Structure 1
């Protein structure tokens, strides 16, 4: 194998694929990238066996071939190279030579035969979805997925494809985020995807592209003209989230998002490190915050709001509420309530986007 590539194109390809390479692995070949020549240049691939990423970049190929190269070392070398063409070649004994200007490196690779094959996904039956819409769903919901190992199904994000819309839902049992966008998906499917894979999709595919999405036995593939991402699906039934979303909340508040974030941050300084519990007292025209932590002290604050309904005292985990507010796209938010022990909803107020977005937060029991 022998090819010449610009330093910029090499760095571009490595930046796309290297994040899929595991930091630690008992299988040496997983620490390597597969580099193989194509008609237009080279294809670089990396995998941790759960997620696989592959991208094609232009290069001048002199001799076809394929080899696996240590990912971290190749990336570190590429980052330090002078601005000159990079010439890479390999021989039958797995030795790789890299030359750029006056710099010359020799690395030891592993044969292509040791690199795991990518999942069998049939793209001839692919669904086409706009990358921008998919990225919007990921960006507004994936944060709410659980990071605890006790319920693996909640470690994933539910992606619901319908004939005229697609929806993503994520929850950890205490908070939930749901977004739906109108799109002609053309088929019905419920897929549970690891957030790590969704982050690769959000990072790699430009918003203006249309993606092909195809399902294998227990894998999902995403493909654009130059880049592919494959992920293992999380198997099992996702909890019935619709039953948790309240339909009868009879109290609501319209609050300035930035002012609410500032007040919550101030109160969080004195809140418990374990529960992050803050009391919110809603009255006509005013929201009062209070927090009392025995070994730290107390704090109060208040904020003018628009509120409809009977006065209400409710406790929230301030860290969860702040995280939800970070992803709400409008200057004002609408919060709805039923009772201090019932779930509250948080939605963007005055949002003109075609997407529907709703977050849910379970309250904490107040201690007087």
Structure 2
């Protein structure tokens, strides 16, 4: 194997593929990046056996070949190289038992890395792109951005560690929840028909790679097998295992009879919550919101620490209500709201509250379960 590549192209390929390499690999080969040199490009691939990422970058290939090299050392080498062509070539000699050797040269700097036999590197899942559907990367990234923050990070309910992607004829819905908060977004599919009545539960790490790897104007091809989902756009591929099991019926927890409605400026509400939350030092980060005609009061009381109060004006319809929220959950919801004004609805202090763009566009809703108010 012998090829020459720019430092910029090398860093681009490593940045994408190394993101899928586990910090602690169960198998030694998983700590490597697979480098495949052929024609006028080099493809770099990494995996943790759950997520597979592959990116092709331009290169001058003199001799095709394939090698698996340590990801961490490759990334570190790429960071310290001069801005000059980087030359890779099979090592002329190898230390006994050291595996496959590759020489790397850039300017006066020279390195030799020993990797593992490339045939030990896991094969990518078999997914038929002949049955793929298309979606704009920008549309998919918006769905991910608006919902993924609400996913669970606890191990008690593994199904909630995934993001639900529902595909319906002409529509797509993405949902994430941890049981205490929920985010849901619906939008029309503009890239053609998708499989009807398909529900996919996807690890957030895979969707995070989709956010990072693809320019927003990329037309993504999306295909699935029984246990895997794959994204392809240009020279970049992302494959992921799907999480198995039934996702909870989220529609049942979205209240339909909330009769108290507040329209509030998002930025003003966020500022007020952030201000009083300085005193919310207990694990629940509890903030008390008191809604009344024309106004909203905030209060935080933390034993042995102190208290904070604030107030703001707003449009409110309904009886006065005091309701407690986790300040962190509130701030995350507000940060992802796409509208200047937020429509909040309530029923009772112990019932779920909803948050949505006041304009009704896009079709986006968040839910936050309240906390018990301590008098």
TM-score (ref. length: structure 2): 0.95
Aligned residue number for residue 15 of structure 1: 15
Does residue 344 of the first structure (1) align with residue 350 of the second (2)?
Answer: no
Equivalent residue number for residue 120 of structure 1: 126
User: What SS does the aligned partner of 2:328 have?
Assistant: helix
Check whether the contact 1:161–1:185 (CA below 8 A) recurs between aligned residues.
Answer: no
- SS for the counterpart of 2:370 is coil
Shift of 1:83: 1.4
Cross-structure match for 2:97: none
Runs of 4+ deviating beyond 3 Å: none
Aligned with 2:193 (options 185, 196, 216): 185
Match of 1:255 among 256, 264, 289: 264
CA contact (8 A) 1:138 1:198 kept: yes
The normalised TM-score by structure 1 is 0.97
In 1, the alpha carbon distance for the partners of 2:113 and 2:36 equals 16
Q: Which one of 239, 244, 249 corresponds to residue 248 of structure 2?
A: 239
Structure 2 partner of 1:210 = 219
Unaligned runs of 5+ in 2: 95-99
Q: Is the 8 A contact 2:164 2:174 kept in 1?
A: yes
Give the Cα–Cα distance (whole angstroms) in 2 for the partners of residues 219 and 247 of structure 1. 35
Is the 1:169–1:177 contact (alpha carbons within 8 Å) kept by the matching residues of 2?
A: yes
- Are the counterparts in 2 of residues 166 and 185 from structure 1 also a CA contact under 8 Å? no
Q: What residue number does 1:325 align with? A: 334
C-alpha deviation, 1:339, in angstroms: 1.0
Superimposed CA distance per residue, residues 226-254 of structure 1 (whole angstroms, 9 cap, x where no aligned partner): 00001111100000000111111111111
**What do the CA deviations read for 1:25-63 (whole angstroms, capped 9, x no partner)?**
131111110001132311000001111100101111111
Q: Distance in 1 between matches of 2:308 and 2:113?
A: 60
Q: Which runs of 5+ in 1 are unaligned?
A: none
Deviation at 1:351, TM superposition (A): 5.6
Residue of 138, 150, 159 corresponding to 1:132: 138
Contact 1:256 1:332 in 2 (8 A): yes
- SS at 1:269's partner residue? helix
Work out the CA distance in 1 between the residues paired with 2:155 and 2:322: 33
Residue pairs, 1:148-163, within 5 angstroms: 148-163=154-169
SS class of match (2:52): strand
d(CA) in 2 for partners of 1:50, 1:327? 28
